[in-house]
Amino acid sequence: MRKVLIANWKMYYGPVKAGAWVRAFRRERLPKDIDISIAVPAVSLAAARASLGRATIPALAAQNVFWEKEGAYTGEISPSMLLEFGVSVCIVGHSERRHIVGETDEMVGKKAAALQRAGIAPVICVGETEAQRKKGQATKVVRAQVEAAIKDLKPDGKFAAIIAYEPVWAIGTGKPCRPTDAKEMHDVIRDVVAKIWGARYRDDVRVIYGGSVNERNVTEYVTTTGIDGALVGSASLDPRIFALVCRAAVPA
């Protein structure tokens, strides 16, 4: 299965810097056998698209969406609006949205389903906090997050969901989860997928890891069985470093 790498810029780079980032990244040597996306702030989608032109590498991704098609939802953005920029992938349920903005499992499920209906692949983020892990609740929390997020999704096709395991304590801390521990949780996620979608999807679903991944440790993750790629925050802010991450992820 092709590996996936997704850059998550978070709330960095308005249109001017986004355009420059994309132009610099396009000059880098990039591996072909990997799916690379860049999740940019909504206000920078137009600039990123303009700098990409018709290029599909990297694919353009969004960081959030609303589940309705249109209407009186001040400040929200619909899947069809994202499609106008050629967005093909969209993150939902990032822990920063769950914990800072208060997004619930139910909202994440609605967003994922709306994306898929519109023809955009959802990247569903799940992961426990440090406190939950210490209390021995990590597995229970992640199971519930996955169940709520995928129950209304189609398991396969072009817009199949990707699940990103991102333990909250590993995000932006420089303290990544060990690949073997990540793999254990990926197995839990695959069990939930098998229960809801059917056994054959256990190995078909793409499950990626996120949390302090960089150009030095990415290889360990993508070569661990059951880890299909990475969601990269801080190490994606510099286009040259993110290109290093991409090259390190695919053996020459």
CB of 30 to ligand PGA, least distance (A): 19
Is 186 assigned a catalytic role? no
Site string for ligand PGA, 145-174 (x = CB under 6 A): ---------------------x----xx--
Q: How far apart are CA 213 and CA 220, in angstroms?
A: 10
Q: In angstroms, what is the minimal distance from the CB of 195 to ligand PGA?
A: 26
Cross-strand pairs, 126: 165
Tokens 């521990």 locate to 181
Site residues for ligand PGA, 7-46, by CB under 6 A, read 8
For 144, which DSSP code? H
Minimum distance from residue 86 beta carbon to ligand PGA (Å): 22
Rg of the Cα atoms in the chain: 17
CA-CA distance, 54 to 24, in Å (whole number)? 16
Of residues 197-226, which lie at the interface with ligand PGA (CB under 6 A)?
210-213
Residue showing the smallest CB distance to ligand PGA in the complex? 233
Q: Would the CA dihedral through 111, 116, 118, 119 be positive or negative? A: positive
Write down the catalytic residue from 96, 103, 166, 215. Answer: 166
The answer to whether 187 and 205 have CB atoms below 8 angstroms apart is no
- The two structure tokens encoding residue 128: 């426990």
Kindly identify the residues of this chain, within the stretch 88-107, that bind ligand PGA according to CB under 6 A. none
Binding site for ligand PGA (CB under 6 A): 8, 166, 171-172, 210-213, 231-235
User: Which residues have a catalytic role annotated?
Assistant: 94, 166
